[in-house]
A and B are shown apart, each in its own frame.
Chain A
Amino acid sequence: MSQVNEPAAEVILEARNITKRYPGNVALDGVTFRVYRGQVNVLIGENGAGKSTLVRILAGAEMADEGALFLEGRPLALHTPRDAAANGISIVYQELLALTNLKISENIFAGREICHAALFVDQAAQNQRSAAALRHLRKPMDVATETGRLSLGCRQVVEIARALDQGSRILILDEPTSALSVSEAESLFEVIADLKRAGVTIIYISHRLHELLHLGDRFTVLRSGRVVGESTRATATRAWIVERMSGRKEGANDASTAISPARPAVLTVSGLTLPGSIGDEAAQAALHDVSFDLFEGEILGVYGLLGAGRSELVEALAGLRPIASGAVAIRGQNVRTGSVRDALRAGMVLMPEDRQRDGLFPELSIRENVVMAAKTGPILLRDEETKRVRKLAAELHIAAKDIELPVTTLSGGNQQKVLLARCLMCSPSVLLMDEPTRGVDVGAKAEIHGILRKLAAKGLSIVFTSSEIEETQALAARVLVLCQGRISAEFSRAQLSDEGLFTAASPSVAAAANPATARPAGGPA
């Protein structure tokens, strides 16, 4: 199984025969994971494979039941994240842990403030070092900005800056790009390359295969708590990874939907313009004069970089943002905008980007989470609900043992499906999805894509946003590209290409292009 025998490779950190049990579940079963100095060590596996548990042990956030850690050959005992940091190991978690009420520099130094006379915080020094760390990441920001006002992508950058400033020799990145746009991810990759050159060892977890193959030097695949494959850059292929991690061959699921032009338009957006928010760098993207049609049974992708106005577009349609001007019509009928209830009544429902923040009710059961937005009579009918939720759970393959368990017992992919089920309970005519598969493993992603195609085939019209070219291509029958709040191009499925999408989304190029040629006469209009 292991063909890792390059002479130059030196193991800096090794987790040997690690076993970690949770009640009723063995998260890690005798896992041996070697981390090579100065390389990008990729850890791959579906949700629940044990990746997060393993890196939490490496970062001192959890202790293994059996097994041992070795740093440069010496046994290493980690009891707390502080121990790990003291040994030069730091982690940037997938779920953003930023203290949103504090400034950027305060976040970067939280818990390890620089002090005068061991008493007073040296704000100036912190600011200076924070700014330097962010510059190093090629993402300069005003370090006095409150972190809560930053976009998810920027918060991620702040967390990476924090880890960098700690002078880590080993940096663990747990899905660092799941919230980043392509350009931000690209700049992160450059930083990773820089760090590698500087001798920093990276442990990298991601679901995005192209990214892994692009970055990784060493690959370790986990499945159900066991290492099922190890490989080097030279030998790893996409097919190998997918097959190892899922235990099945990668299927070509490109039976996508070309819409017959005869279909009627369900949603018509004309001249949609949003007011820009003032003084908020992260959320300044408003929309300018956005117009499009969405046809029955169509899956329309909205692609754009971070800040292009993707989320703003779907949020405005869902009634979460006030619109400055423009009209929204469902089947030719103008609808009121500006409140979620109006949007729901008109048949538009949004599945949010950040399911923890905007989607899930963590205290409530799976059933209650699903039925929350549905229409009800004055008295709730429990049996009726149970029946409907069971049916939807079966249709969407929600892997729930019992729909009365808290929704937090589900994996990310299944939580995402719970939100999808909630949207479907409203019987929408337009389903709006902001990053439909963020933080979801490859298997669940393909499954969700399949479900969406099936729904579209039944006549549901879907608008989804994505910052992933891969996903946009896999799912969309037609793509609108947003750039700085304007539609910069439109592609039909046949015209889609990585190159075209990326060019249209990049501000400088899009500005130079002639709108008449940049918008090919695609689409079923």
Chain B
Amino acid sequence: MSSVTPTQPRAKRFALASARVVLLLLRARAILVLLLLLFLFSALVPEFLTANNLSILTKHVAIAALLAVGMTFVVLTGGIDLSVGSIAGLGGMVAGYLLTQGVSFGGATHYPPVAIVVLLTICACLLVGALNGWLVAKAGVAPFIATLGTLYIARGAALLISNGKTFPNLGGAESRGNAGFPAFGQSFLWHVPTPVWMMVALFAVAWVVATKTPFGRHVYAIGGNERAARLAGIRVAQVKITTYVFSAFCAALVGLIIAAQLEAAHPATGESFELNAIAAVVLGGTSLMGGRGSVTGSLIGAFVIGVLADGLVMLGVSEFWQIVIKGVVIVLAVGLDQLQTRLQARILPYLTTASIEEGHS
């Protein structure tokens, strides 16, 4: 690309500046949409911006955000994880079973303490994640099919655990030494619900992993060009398996939080959650082809979906319209993504020829 002689420096600088602004706006569109929604709902619904409502809102968002953050890594490698909703349901049922039915051996029933329950639940979910990863990375099954299979497997397993019934009263009992489980979903720390803290912590870890570690870079590389990644010495299978296991871990947290909030475990919990998570990831600008996107975007995407849902409820919009609106927002988001890609392709040559001369480095 030959550089342009600066015949019209002022016009050029202006064009360059406006090009940058347009790109910046497009890149930041998720957060712009979020701010717009917040503005809109706080104007239309007086009680929207109250501390109480925001606390409820973020609690709702936390569920979707946890799944979306886990999903982001999978999608960045070019995969998809349809099983997260089922894994969350399975996790809740495992916890519910251990808390209410206990484990019988030696003729007596033992009730494991809450910490052990949580640990075993997470382990059970990670197993499903590992199965996903193995199917995709080792057995070469297409991610959509592999995780569609485990979606059914995990859901079926959740139903089998209780024979389709709900485990009520997960509060446990001091006498059995397993009280305190509901705190997982209901407690507060500095006036902020525990699930929100979990979301914050998980996001922080995921952000660091995605942007600051070799693993994160390898995830992007695999999604961008798997053959090149292999040739660069990246352990493709290992990285992929890890992303599915991490996604399952996030799903396990969601299962535990919901069971703890309701103090009950229902085998149908988490149905269609995977779609919300995928929607959040896409809204956040992550490409379903892999290689492009960010954890931050997914978090913002989860907020957009959460704010939209709660705001529409508060406005009294019918549930059916809510579904339609959600769909429209997702389609618009993907349309804008295409627009960004095209504009970027047209603007980039401009930036290539100009950025250094502008003293930008």
Taking Cβ atoms with an 8 Å cutoff, the residues of A that contact B are 22-26, 48, 224-225, 318, 320, 340-341, 344, 350, 352, 357-364, 368, 372-373, 376, 378-380, 401-402, 405-406, 409, 411, 422, 426
Contact = CB atoms under 8 A, between A and B. Distances in A.
B349 A359 contact: no
A390 to B, nearest CB: 9
B224 interface: yes
A409 B214 contact: no
A23 B231 contact: no
Interface residues of B, number: 40
Interface in B316-351: 346-351
B215 to A, nearest CB: 9
A224 B2 contact: yes
Contact of B349 (A22, A363, A380): A22
B353 A361 contact: no
A406 B228 CA distance: 16
Contacts of B233: 340-341, 344, 373, 426
A23 B349 contact: yes
A344 B348 CA distance: 34
Nearest to B223: A363
Question: Interface of chain B, helix or strand or loop or mixed?
Answer: helix
A360 B228 contact: yes
Given A341-B235, A406-B348, A409-B352, A364 B224 contact: yes
Nearest to A368: B217
B150 to A, nearest CB: 27
Nearest to A402: B355
24 contacts: A22-B346, A23-B19, A23-B346, A24-B4, A24-B12, A318-B231, A344-B233, A352-B231, A357-B225, A358-B231, A361-B291, A362-B224, A362-B225, A363-B287, A368-B217, A368-B221, A372-B217, A372-B221, A373-B232, A376-B214, A378-B213, A380-B214, A401-B351, A402-B351
Contact of B356 (A22, A225, A401): A401
Interface of B: 1-2, 4, 12, 15, 19, 212-214, 217, 220-221, 223-225, 227-235, 287, 291-292, 346-356, 360-361
B220 A363 contact: yes
> Secondary structure of the A side of the interface?
loop
A161 to B, nearest CB: 27
Given A48-B2, A224-B2, A401-B352, A364 B213 contact: no
Contact of A340 (B224, B231, B347, B352): B231
A333 to B, nearest CB: 19
Nearest to B287: A363
B1 A23 contact: no
Given A359-B231, A361-B228, A362-B225, 11 more contacts: A23-B350, A24-B12, A25-B349, A340-B230, A344-B233, A357-B227, A363-B223, A372-B232, A401-B351, A402-B355, A402-B360
Given A362-B224, A402-B361, A409-B349, A25 B2 contact: yes
Contacts of B224: 361-364
A378 B214 contact: yes
